[in-house]
Amino acid sequence: MMGFFYFVAGVNHFRNPEAYYKIIPPYLPWHSFINIVSGVCEIGFAILLFIPATRKFACYGIILMLIAFIPTHIYMLGSCWMIKGECMPQWLLWVRLLALQPLFIYWAWKMKD
């Protein structure tokens, strides 16, 4: 399930790059490059999750990737991230940062064994 989740998320970086450009903090350079690397990493780690010999490596990679995404989640708290023409509610952004991110990190940590 985790592999499918990250594979779909990674593919979405290429299907809808504009959505990701908007949430990359402006102080980071090369938004297009960051988006491509993020998508490739998500797809790559997803594939590696399906191979028992590389699952542990993939889990550690996912954990590091999720930690690297934290500045984006913090940036989103201070900006209006649009979904269907409306700003995403602040409470939902806090849930993403304080509940979902740690939950996804924990999930990857548990999958490595």
Q: Which amino acid is at 46?
A: A
The predicted structure's pLDDT at residue 19: 85
- The string of pLDDT tens digits covering residues 55-96 is 999 999 999 999 999 999 899 888 877 666 777 888 888 998
d(CA 45, CA 61): 7
Q: What are phi and psi of 14, to 5 degrees?
A: -95, -25
For the entire predicted model, the pTM comes to 0.89
The predicted structure's pLDDT at residue 112: 86
The predicted structure's pLDDT at residue 76: 86
Query: Are the CB atoms for 105 and 81 separated by under 8 Å?
Result: no
